[in-house]
Every structure is written in C-alpha cells, then in structure tokens.
Amino acid sequence: MTPPENVEAVVRVVLVDDEPLVRAGLRVILDAEPDLEVVGEAGDGSEVPQVVARTRPDVVLMDVRMPKVDGIAATRAVVASARPDAPAPRVLVLTTFENDDHVLDALHSGAQGFLLKRARPEELVHAVRVVARGDSLLFPDAVRRLVAAHGPDTSQGDRLRSVGLTDREAEVLRLVAAGMSNAEIARELYLGVETVRTHVGNVLAKLRVRDRTQAVVRAYESGFVPLARP
C-alpha cells in the first residue's frame, strides 16, 4: 500500500559509539520521534562498514574517539561506500570536546557537521533532520575555533585564490561561511534562490569539495574568511 502523501519518509539512523549507555540514550531520544528510526548500532569504527551495508541508513551518528578504529577512518569508509545507485549516508559527528582536533579531521573526511554530546535532545533531533535532508550542520563560530586551535593551513590560501572564483562566487562563499542558507543568501544579495544554488554549486566544484561543510572549513583554513572577528 502506498503511504499517504502527507506522511514524511522515516529517516534511518545508525549509532556509532563505544559506550553502550550513550547509544541507549541516543536511541531513546531518536526513536521517540515519528520520523526517525534507529536501525543499527556499532561499538567501534571497525564495525561501521558492515552495519551500514546491512541497514542502509540515511544518517550515521559518529563518535570520533573510539579504541580500535576512530570516527575519522569510519567516516572515510562511509563516504567511500557511495555507489551510483546508492548514495553514502550522511555523517553527523558527536564529540565531548568542542575543540577536538578529531572533529576537524572528520569534517575533512566528509562529515556534514558535528554536535556536542551535551546538546539538548531537541538539538540532536533537529541536527539529524537537517543532515538527513541534505543540508550541512554549520556553526561558524565553532568551525572558526576548531581551525584556530588546529592552526590555519597557509598553503590553502594560494590554492583557493588560484581556483578563479568570480566576485559573486567569493561573496557567496563568505555568506556560506557565515552560516547562511541559500534562501538567506538570496535575500541578502537580492538574487533568486536557484541563482544562489548555482553559485554555491560552482564554488563547490571550483574548490573540489563535496559539500558546504568542507567549503566553510577551506574558507577559514585558507584565511579567505578571517579567523578573528572584525
């Protein structure tokens, strides 16, 4: 039977954390939502490829610090699992420490965003929904602090300048790095949303990054967007 059109598709989630109690708590929060369902768990990054292949989730909630295979390597494995007929699940990193260097590495590896484990249940639910619908979960201040703590990559500056962004594309990248959505950028620049989407796509292609998250990290690491607030 075909479900009614007003019923949203259920977002399938896999939990990855070496603490069983953490996984249990996350499961209770997510399974309480009618549009979210936990379909699998892993206690270490080494288990992730098999669990993802078996359950085919939409989102993987990924701890970054695990005893055998960490969340960075596991995120790479998730991204590499993409096939033409089956896109890779989106990865949302969970971390205890806001300035954890592992988080930045996970973002480089393809995670779409990160969230602190002390986040409120409603923040967790919102984050999963945001990532599931294909958006990046960006907190510009947090990304700025991560890059500042890790140290900017000065070699990225020349690379970013050499990709040939137009003035408009550069302006759009700065607004993406400020955490604006396409609709917000459209209002700011008096453009249509589809025009902004085209500019964002051009920026991602020129930077050779997969998504907005990696573009924002690149913008801060290169110095294109200053780490220090004006």
Task: Record the pTM.
Answer: 0.79
pLDDT of 179 reads: 80
pLDDT of 103 reads: 79
Confidence of residue 105 (pLDDT cuts 50, 70, 90): confident
Cα distances (Å, whole numbers) of residue 204 to 81, 200, 228: 21, 6, 24
At 174, the amino acid letter reads R
Contact indicator for 60, 90 with CB cutoff of 8 Å: yes
Mean pLDDT is lowest, of 92-106, 115-129, 140-154, 214-228, for 140-154
Query: Is the pLDDT assigned to residue 2 strictly greater than 50?
Result: no
Question: For residue 61, what is the enclosing H or E element?
Answer: strand 59-63
pLDDT of 225 reads: 77
Query: Is the pLDDT assigned to residue 199 strictly greater than 90?
Result: yes
Q: 123 is written with which tokens?
A: 């923040």
